[in-house]
A = this chain, B = another copy of it.
Amino acid sequence: MKAVIISVGTELVTGRCVDTNAAWLAGQLVHLGISPIRNVTVGDEVEAIKSAIELALAESDVVCVSGGLGPTPDDLSRHALAEAIGQSLIEDADTLSQLEAFFDALERPMPESNKRQALVPRGCHVIPNPRGTAPGIHFRGPGAQLFALPGVPAEMKATFETYVRDLLADTRRTVCPGSARLLCYGVSEAWIGEVLADLMTVESNPTVGITASEAVIAVHVHATARDKAEAEVLVDSAAAEIRARLGHACFGIGSDTLQLAVVRLLCKRRLTIATAESCTGGLLAACMSDEPGSSAYFMRGYVVYANTAKSDLLGIPHAMLEGHGAVSEPVANEMALRCREKAGVDLAVSITGIAGPGGGDPPRKPVGLVFVGLAHDTGVIVKRVLLGSHLTRGEIRDRACKTALNLVRLHLLDVVV
């Protein structure tokens, strides 16, 4: 079964608001085994809403419209629906008395304009709204059915959950979906695309797709089957194959974060950690204290932004700072070593780099050059990365933290880095 989602609102089409309803509705439909094929956003105009509805009814089995059911003159979804299906609007007596009861309960007079909300195209059903005054409308056409829902997210969700979901769940499902998301760091999207190329053909089941966000690459697996168990088997076996191909590049699933992957490994081995940061200025410490209960493994952080802080707090020799520069392999090495010693922890991570936009001295020390150090029980590892001057200061700081977290993760997995 295919679905089209229509979002109505001039505030959406002009970009004053980000539309979150469409993604929520799409997720719900996918969960019910229905495939959203398109989302269309139009302004508060009868013609635009009407033609979006006509096209959607012709091309899909389920149409969800959100917005345009309020009491003000710019709420036009019910009029557009009436025109699209060639029916007139009639006043629904039950709805009118429910609206009156709603205002009575709040001890407020009902504004005249709310009466519009009792208008429904002939032959349609009213969907009760447990969270507000805008009732939804259910149209059952010969080929497709349409649900017009309120635009306020809480009301849209409430009307969907109390009426639409059960109704769609009762529809005989032809397909049952399953999905998984595998998260990777430290490899390129292109590399993953090459490694998984044979799995990424459009017609396959499961389908495999790749997205990237803030240098974390997600591999999405989506399967459809006749029942949930079968869908799960399809997803699980594809995910296992993908995980095997990606190896240690894959750090988690679902909404995991790199810090969570590190935390799990630290807790498993009962290890403690401390941080010493220059260019990231506390971001790595903030990552390490992100999870509840972090006092079990995260002890302290040195934010040694100024060179005097590096020598005062960690005892980095002045001669080393002057000779090699603060952004150098020896300084990263020394920061990690001294931090581990002073904090009395199992692992110490250091970061020193040039976050930019100024301060670079190419080609030897360009913006985006970062050294990450990790002191452990038998030595120190220092990793040099060029994060690229095309990134913003914020992105370089973020990637520097992620590089450090990934170094700790790979070390704890005994991967040679």
Contacts and interface: CB of A to CB of B under 8 A. Distances in A.
Interface of A: 9-20, 22-30, 35-45, 48, 52, 70-74, 102, 105-108, 111-114, 130-132, 152, 154, 181, 188-194, 197, 200-202, 207, 209-213, 220, 222, 275, 277, 279-286, 288-290, 292-295, 298-306, 308-309, 312-313, 343, 355-358, 386, 388-395, 397
A52 B59 CA distance: 13
B17 A41 contact: no
Contacts of A13: 26, 36-39
A347 to B, nearest CB: 15
A288 to B, nearest CB: 7
A264 B282 CA distance: 21
A322 B399 CA distance: 39
Number of copies: 2
18 contacts: A15-B24, A16-B23, A16-B220, A18-B23, A19-B23, A39-B40, A44-B209, A70-B212, A74-B202, A275-B282, A281-B290, A282-B282, A282-B301, A283-B286, A285-B285, A292-B356, A301-B303, A303-B303
A280 B290 contact: no
B386 A9 contact: no
A178 to B, nearest CB: 13
A58 to B, nearest CB: 13
A43 B320 CA distance: 55
